[in-house]
Amino acid sequence: MGQQVAGGAADYIVPVGIIGILAFVAYKMGLFSGTATGTGQQSAAQAANVTAANDQAYQQSAAQVPQSLSDTQINSLIGVMMSDAEENTSIFSGSTYQQDIITQMGQLGNITDLYRLIQLWGTRDVAGASGSVCDLIDVDCTAVDFGTFIHATLSSSQLGQLNQLLQANGINYTFS
């Protein structure tokens, strides 16, 4: 009669799959020590320096000019910008996601709002494209500060538009 051969490929599929899932869960829980810094990522020391400088700029600005937008409103702007950039789509018909980002930035009322946006942004994981490994399973993401995000997302002419808009709103800040 038919004999079953031990050690066939089918015998290994489920155990290998389980090990892979467990390794992924352990990775997401941070059980693997050591971090790899990919291209475009900041070191922990660089990120701490940027955060300290942003915090100081916000505190100095807030002492002179009160924030015109609430943190909830600013976080909403951030959410729209992140969503548009990660999905490469616009929430507005006939617009590009880059124009959406400029439009969202146009809602800032003063320099304190901008510094608060930068502060609330901190560093965020940004997926390179819809369907990327980062986008699908939150692995191999690039952590960037707001300035890096803006420069990676907008062209030089769009940066010029953004800077003009900020100036028109009385915000003396330039993304160069």
Are 97 and 84 in contact by the 8 Å Cβ rule? The answer is yes
**Residue 121 burial (CB < 10 Å; 0-12/13-18/19+)?**
buried
CB neighbours of 6 closer than 8 A, spacing ≥ 6?
A: none
The pLDDT assigned to 58 comes to 78
Are 66 and 126 in contact by the 8 Å Cβ rule? The answer is no
pTM above threshold 0.75: no
Q: What residue ranges do the domains of the chain occupy?
A: 43-168
- Tens-binned pLDDT, residue by residue, of the chain (176 aa): 555 555 565 666 666 656 656 555 555 544 443 443 344 445 667 767 777 777 787 788 778 889 999 999 999 999 988 887 777 655 555 567 888 899 999 999 999 999 999 999 988 876 555 555 555 565 667 778 899 889 888 899 999 999 999 999 999 999 88
